[in-house]
Structure 1
């Protein structure tokens, strides 16, 4: 059975897409970011939780503050990227649940009254939303360079507050000619899928 999605779109989103390590100097606009978000916000999460928060790092001063918290190998490419986004989990996301999940407005208090439960749910669902965001960047014809090599506490103190946990930093832009490393192998279907 073939996929419904056009093969060119499959290539754009998955087969030909790579993590980018270098970008052109073409800017990434707020309109592009909004179009990406307006597409990927429809990706499924548990209880329609929407804990993802995106902090766009645009100013040179903010970029300098961010770069100091990155692993050494991530600093130069982040300093040069057209746009950088700090993706974080809002651990107080449950306050929005009565509006976002009206079928079960008590979910806020039944499942997420305790902070540890909220943090676990926020971490999982932010990871889902971050993955959708990366695919959305590709759908916009841009490339993403997601990174987890950073001092999370330093980034939190610099850009967020105690209710937000940084999850990922993403460099965004049009890929440069030398942006990609060769494709690394992936596991085959038979190594991953089991039928019981």
Structure 2
């Protein structure tokens, strides 16, 4: 685990990867999505809580229902993406802790504090979502993470049966480079960090 990744790999994962808005008409196999999950699930979370939950939307009827719940600026890119992932978290993630963290009674840490459970689910679910995006990129897929949707409507239409809470959406596929915007700048190390 001590080898430095090549510049080519870093480019695919970070420095040249882009947020895509337009998509090639090329399907994404369910096996590839499973492979991305099987990579991303190994990223660390607090007490191995693993609260991320994902709903993959690819069928036309489900995609139409989702598109109705996204903002106007996101409708076309969502409709044309081969897959849209609803990135969610399970507020009752702690029910899995006897399996995921058997070293202690970790479940009681969260059942005794709803605020701590909610904070842990959101923070660690967001962290896992970032791992998942990097895993998708590592397999040659492009992504388009986005806000801009009616959370209550997405939850009612797709998550209510499970009780999961939506965080954001990610369009997944093979991006169309002709539809990319000019690359935007990022903050420098000195602008965004302190060393104390």
Q: TM-score range by the shorter chain?
A: over 0.9
Shift of 1:179: 3.6
Equivalent residue, structure 1, for 2:151: 152
- Residues 106-129 of structure 1 deviation map (CA, whole Å, 9 limit, x = unaligned): 111023433332111111011001
Distance of 1:119 and 1:24 partners within structure 2: 38
Equivalent residue, structure 1, for 2:91: 91
Equivalent residue, structure 1, for 2:107: 108
Distance of 2:133 and 2:88 partners within structure 1: 14
Moved more, 86-95 or 107-116: 107-116
Equivalent residue, structure 1, for 2:16: 16
Moved more, 149-158 or 51-60: 51-60
Contact 2:28–2:83 (CA under 8 A) maintained in structure 1: yes
Contact 1:91–1:115 (CA under 8 A) maintained in structure 2: no
Contact 2:94–2:110 (CA under 8 A) maintained in structure 1: no
- Residues 65-120 of structure 1 deviation map (CA, whole Å, 9 limit, x = unaligned): 1001101100011001111111111001000011111222x111023433332111
1:37-56 matches, within 5 Å, as: 37-56=37-56
2:27 alignment partner, SS class = coil
TM-score (norm 1): 0.94
TM-score (norm 2): 0.94
Equivalent residue, structure 1, for 2:123: 124
Shift of 1:191: 1.5
1:111 alignment partner, SS class = helix
Gaps of 5+ in 2: none
C-alpha distance 112-179 of structure 1, shift in aligned 2 (>3 A): farther
RMSD: 1.3
Aligned length: 193
Q: Structure 1 runs of 4+ off > 6 angstroms?
A: none
- Residues 14-73 of structure 1 deviation map (CA, whole Å, 9 limit, x = unaligned): 000010001111100110001101001111111111111111112111111100110110
Moved more, 20-29 or 176-185: 176-185
Equivalent residue, structure 2, for 1:193: 193
Moved more, 7-16 or 162-171: 162-171
Equivalent residue, structure 2, for 1:5: 5
